[in-house]
Amino acid sequence: MNILLSFIVVCVIGLIPWIGTTVVNLQFLFGIIIPYAAVATLLVGVVYRIVKWANSPVPFRIPSTCGQQKSLPWIKRNRIENPSNIFETTIRMALEILLFRSLFRNTRAELREGPKLAYGGFPWLWLAALVFHYAFLTVVIRHLRFFLEPVPFWINWLNALDGLMQVGLPVFMMSGLALLAAVSYLIARRIIVPQLRYISLISDYFPIFLIFGIALTGILMRYWFKVEVVSVKELTMGLATFHPRLPQTGIDGYQFLFYMHLFYVSVLIAYFPFSKLMHAGGVFLSPTRNLANNNRMVRHINPWNYPVKIHTYEEYEDDFRDVMIEAGIPVEK
């Protein structure tokens, strides 16, 4: 039910700009107002989430570790799994952010014949996640050429590298196909694996289908249903320079496909701060990852602790000495 509902919602989202631009002629709404509103929502939402996380009290060191902590000099410690200083923590964070190290090391347990408990990993999931994120990043960076003039040389280099395996014209971009393939795998995995399907919610399916729609409409525009790139750049440059205007000649060809693509992107941008996709920023503020485990070297005192009236053993014994002696309980005095 969650799968079907998410798919229907994404399809309806795609039909809205189609009808709005071909029947009602609301190009100004879908080309200018909605993108600006989406970016404003993104900025406000991201700032709100980061400030909220930053204000959350973390009185103690709570890093997730699975290696030997630093203690005595003759005990070999694990510098990456159990960092004790900022440098080691930075390396651990870099491996997590750039290579998804914890996902690669993620293990599963299966009870096999014998009975025998066997452990394994999810290498295909790690590879699909890595391809998905880097392909998405490459696509985003490549699209900056629509918002910048002149286009920086490093974007042109990335564009040339992405199209290294040129097959005819237009140039074949590896990142687009890689993104579509990785998203398809992630969708199929959630649908096929029963355990994963059981725990998956609408919030898990909706962004994946939304990104699939973005990738699909982008590929369709590039290779099959062409739109006028010059007019598209005129529109995007107007948005980037805060002088928004629709192209004078209009976006010829299958313009509804362009507005559908743009609307999908706008919905994803506005949805980003309030979804699980916000882990892109949250990983930097996660105390289980960004803290060094130096509890044996530094004493951490909770700054929110309030004075508590304690009852010492000596006071306890003074209160109940006679009863304790009568019951045969030894006393110090």
Q: Return the pLDDT at 272.
A: 94
Using alpha carbons, list the distances in angstroms from residue 52 to 49, 57, 234, 246. 5, 10, 38, 38
Task: Give the pLDDT mean for 227-253.
Answer: 83
Whole-angstrom distance, CA of residue 226 vs CA of residue 229: 9
Contact 197, 186 (CB under 8 A): no
Is the pLDDT score of 212 beyond 90? yes
Cα 96 from Cα 289, distance rounded (Å): 9
> Rounded mean pLDDT of 187-211?
90
Residue 195 exposure: Cα atoms within 13 Å on the Cβ side: 1
Residue 6 is encoded by which pair of tokens?
Answer: 């998410």
**What pLDDT shows up at residue 230?**
84
1-25: average pLDDT: 89
Tell whether the torsion through CA atoms of 181, 186, 189 and 192 is positive or negative: negative
* Stated length of the chain: 333
The answer on pLDDT for 282 being more than 80 is: yes
